[in-house]
Structure 1
Amino acid sequence: GGDQFLQDFHIPEVLVFPPGTALYQHHLYKNGSLHFMDKSSCLAPYLLRPHVHSTVLDMCAAPGLKTIQLAGIAQSGKVYAVERDAGRFQSLKEMIANSGADNVVTLHSDVTKLNDVEKYNDVEYILLDPTCSGSGMRDRQPRSSVQSSSDKERLYKLQGFQLTLLRFAFTKFPAAKRVVYSTCSLNVEENEEVVQAALNSKHHEFQLVNVSKKLPGWINFGSEDFEFGTKCIYSRPETDFTNGFFVAVFERKKHYSRDDTRSVPENDQDYIEDTNKKAFENGSKYN
């Protein structure tokens, strides 16, 4: 009797329960102390893998499930969880409180406008899981392969926002060793194109890490249209039985002085303008 469960093949600390698990009726689930996560959402914190006692920044933290996972991995370390939207910030605070994670500091702010950003110079690990189109979510309607100009315009606005945050992560935290970028999107515009533009940016010391070496047996990778594509991973509903997700892992090539004043370029969207034009000209489709 009772539920049967498996230990996940790729993420050892993840336990896999059947969809109809009786745990949904457990009082700890009902009062918000216990949460279930899609495996795809567990990938980014697992691959960020902060050391015990380290300092972590979750740049776009709400609703907070990944934050809680990071808090567990960091143990006695500290996790800064930032959220700019007031309603989502309240939900984040409630989820953190219910989880019992006492090593999380919640901050209601746009992460690029944190007061005295120098206070966070000790941040070593950064998770960036920004607002995206959500095209990988299984409860969303499938998108047509033919997109309207308004759809493309929205994608490129999201792309500019995502790139701004990734460049901010690269340049504003001098102790950062590893940055993980993830989305619940299957669109190259929000994934590989953002990674490419970030890598091509000036004034940063980060390189892309081959994620396949960290997830033996993984089968879905980034587009081979990009030189670095196979270093990134996707989870896909049709083969991984999860939501669609994209993850890229960056690590610092070498440390530089904490007094370094290198800044984020002011106009990120200009940097990827040529890529966007080519996408329109070639009739680029969502993958």
Structure 2
Amino acid sequence: MKALPSSSGSSGEKEASSSLVIALGSSLGATCPSEPPMKARRSLEPVLLAPWGSCLLALGAPASRPTRKSDSFLWPFGMTTALNRGCWHKSLAMMATAIKLAVRALVEVEVRRKSERLALSEAVAELGIRDVRAIGLAHRLVLETLKRLNLLDEVAKAALAGEGSLEDLGARARAFLRLFAYRAVVEGASRRELASFVLSAREALGKGTLRPIERALGRCTTLSLDDVLASRSGDERLALELCVPTWLLRLLCRDLGRQVAIGLLKASLVQAPSYVRVNTLRGEEGEILASLEQEGIVLEPVEGLRHVYKVVEAGKPIILTDAYKEGLVYPQDKASCLAVEVANPRPGQVVLDVCAAPGAKTTYMAQLMGNRGLIISIDFSRRRLGAWRKLVARMGVKVAFPILADARFQLPTRLRADVVLLDLPCTSTGAFAKTPSAKWRLGPRSPKNMAKVQARILRASAEHVKPGGVLIYTTCSLLVEENERVVEDFLRANPDFELERPEPFLGLPGLRGLSKAQRLYPHIHECDGYFIAKLRRES
């Protein structure tokens, strides 16, 4: 999601540490079930009510380091560690590090309203964490918890059982209770897994943090999702099952129909496919693919797009490959690449890239232009433009230049462009699988407020389209308010622009009669939800 323009910057992607977090989470998360079972668990005895040592023994944790060769321990997310090999304490330490990172990130998301990417990348940098397994596990814990925040809060409230409110807990205790609720009730972790989780949390957070929630942790092990949902019905229950605010569920059903809305919300709860773009500015495509194969990366081409591949298998995160470090490949969603190919900038043309940072679309346009022509990239965030500069340099782009400006107002350039590409700030309703924190920052007025911002940016940018040129309007929202209605209003006020069918056309037709626009849905097209409209100015 691109955040709303502001003078103080926003919670966007960080080029280095944020990309590391995302890549590690995506790769290492492969050991985690892609869709945790949403079903009732067998109730367990309340075993966390006793003092710490007793409660851990009751859950099945070893009282001391095991020595028997037959002992093994099934760790969270399917990681099996042989205890007789001396890995038990190392694994506890790794888990403690992951919990410390996850709790810190969740607190920053809740208290300071940061994105999960920014919060986790900052935590990694500030704590100096270098353990890639811990970073990957923390990313998965944060992502899966934020995907189900409303449901986990209901579990936590039931576990507190009137002994206090969730809001009265300290921020760190509240964050860990949510993590534990996810592991115990949604994922269905075993007693031993939960014991190791609590033991690691005690090491990471201290006794004082967990003391107020000791009884709640025990009760979590006796709860099932059926227990939590039993008193709910209708849209309220469905919103908890799909882990989305009730008002947003109703809005999506109104805009898209109930079946489509439910399908895309279900898709947002599972790990989305990963895609990479091969950068032919840095090398020959066949040679790059061969080098990736040698590093254990298995790809398959995306039909209809030129240099885009779906990651089928990855022996390690893309960001840790030599090909990535050398600028030969870049992780980029299929929908984002489609928007660039619809723009179809050609060598020698002038391009205006609005809301451009961190530069994924800028660098792909430069690639399609063969590094010939001119790209002016505009963004309001100094920090995000810093990430843009790093990416442009790594990808070998020579024709792109940045401007720090707020695109809601008159742009500080007299440029007339062949292509204007708008990657607009939006509610990110199509990208909840990757940025689940976005849905908890939204309110019923958010779509209308965002549409006003989008309309202002569209009007300001349209002035720079030369006669015969094109403007590409894109968002990762699936709400009609932010897409078809904004485009309709613009076309009504600007008769010198007309809607043109984009090519490639990989999605489904737009709504409200805008059949020449295209929409992509996560559960249908295996990518971010996206809206793309191509507007051409009369010659």
Whether these two folds match at TM > 0.5 is yes
Amino acid at match of 1:246: F
CA-CA distance at 1:4 after TM superposition: 3.4
1:51-98 CA distances to partner (integer Å, 9 max, x unpaired)? 211010001101110110011112201111111112112111121122
> Which of these residues, 523, 527, 537, is aligned with residue 242 of structure 1?
527
RMSD of the TM alignment (CA)? Answer: 2.5
Alignment of structure 1 residues 55-94 onto 2, 5 Å: 55-75=350-370, 76-94=372-390
> Which of these residues, 149, 154, 169, is aligned with residue 446 of structure 2?
154
Question: Which residue of structure 1 aligns with residue 304 of structure 2?
Answer: 10
- Match of 1:62, SS state, is coil
Question: Which residue of structure 1 aligns with residue 324 of structure 2?
Answer: 29
Q: CA 1:199 to 1:21, structure 2 compared with 1: closer, same or farther past 3 Å?
A: farther
CA-CA distance at 1:171 after TM superposition: 2.7
Whole-Å separation in 1 of the counterparts to 2:378 and 2:396 = 18
Whole-Å separation in 2 of the counterparts to 1:33 and 1:173 = 32
Alignment of structure 1 residues 157-196 onto 2, 5 Å: 157-175=449-467, 177-196=469-488
Question: Which residue of structure 1 aligns with residue 497 of structure 2?
Answer: 206
1:192-251 CA distances to partner (integer Å, 9 max, x unpaired)? 11111111114x51100123xx236x352222xx122x2111111111111111111111
Name the larger-Rg structure: 2
> Which of these residues, 193, 197, 215, is aligned with residue 504 of structure 2?
215
Whole-Å separation in 1 of the counterparts to 2:438 and 2:324 = 33
Is 2:421 the counterpart of 1:127?
Answer: yes
Of all paired residues, the percent bearing the same amino acid is 24
- Match of 2:401, SS state, is strand
CA-CA distance at 1:178 after TM superposition: 0.6
Q: CA 1:222 to 1:108, structure 2 compared with 1: closer, same or farther past 3 Å?
A: same
> Is residue 52–residue 73 contact of structure 1 (8 Å, CA) maintained in 2?
yes
1:237-286 CA distances to partner (integer Å, 9 max, x unpaired)? 1111111111111112x22xxxxxxxxxxxxxxxxxxxxxxxxxxxxxxx
Q: CA 1:166 to 1:58, structure 2 compared with 1: closer, same or farther past 3 Å?
A: same
* Matched residues, number: 241
> Is residue 125–residue 176 contact of structure 1 (8 Å, CA) maintained in 2?
no
- Match of 1:53, SS state, is coil
- Match of 1:114, SS state, is coil
- Match of 1:9, SS state, is coil
> Which of these residues, 412, 426, 430, is aligned with residue 136 of structure 1?
430
CA-CA distance at 1:99 after TM superposition: 1.5
Whole-Å separation in 2 of the counterparts to 1:171 and 1:244 = 28
Whole-Å separation in 1 of the counterparts to 2:425 and 2:401 = 21
Amino acid at match of 2:385: F
Whole-Å separation in 2 of the counterparts to 1:135 and 1:182 = 13
Whole-Å separation in 2 of the counterparts to 1:219 and 1:86 = 34
> Is residue 491–residue 497 contact of structure 2 (8 Å, CA) maintained in 1?
yes
- Match of 2:474, SS state, is strand
Question: Which residue of structure 1 aligns with residue 400 of structure 2?
Answer: 104
> Is residue 126–residue 176 contact of structure 1 (8 Å, CA) maintained in 2?
no
Is 2:343 the counterpart of 1:48?
Answer: yes
> Is residue 428–residue 438 contact of structure 2 (8 Å, CA) maintained in 1?
no
Q: CA 1:32 to 1:73, structure 2 compared with 1: closer, same or farther past 3 Å?
A: closer
Whole-Å separation in 2 of the counterparts to 1:54 and 1:21 = 40
Structure ranking higher on relative contact order (CA contacts 8 Å, 6+ apart): 1
CA-CA distance at 1:175 after TM superposition: 4.4
> Is residue 410–residue 460 contact of structure 2 (8 Å, CA) maintained in 1?
no
Amino acid at match of 2:301: Q
> Which of these residues, 363, 384, 391, is aligned with residue 95 of structure 1?
391
Amino acid at match of 2:534: V
Q: CA 1:59 to 1:39, structure 2 compared with 1: closer, same or farther past 3 Å?
A: same
Task: Give TM-score, length-normalised by structure 2.
Answer: 0.42
Task: Give TM-score, length-normalised by structure 1.
Answer: 0.76
Deviates more, 1:106-115 or 1:238-247: 106-115
Amino acid at match of 1:227: G
Question: Which residue of structure 1 aligns with residue 69 of structure 2?
Answer: none
- Match of 2:365, SS state, is helix
> Is residue 52–residue 77 contact of structure 1 (8 Å, CA) maintained in 2?
yes
- Match of 1:70, SS state, is helix
Q: CA 1:176 to 1:60, structure 2 compared with 1: closer, same or farther past 3 Å?
A: farther
> Is residue 136–residue 186 contact of structure 1 (8 Å, CA) maintained in 2?
yes
Whole-Å separation in 2 of the counterparts to 1:143 and 1:54 = 36
Whole-Å separation in 1 of the counterparts to 2:448 and 2:477 = 13
Amino acid at match of 1:136: G
Q: CA 1:143 to 1:85, structure 2 compared with 1: closer, same or farther past 3 Å?
A: closer
Amino acid at match of 2:382: A
> Is residue 426–residue 450 contact of structure 2 (8 Å, CA) maintained in 1?
yes
**Greater share of helix:** 2
1:138-191 CA distances to partner (integer Å, 9 max, x unpaired)? 2244999xx99x723221111011111112232343346111000011111111
CA-CA distance at 1:24 after TM superposition: 4.0
Is 2:513 the counterpart of 1:227?
Answer: yes
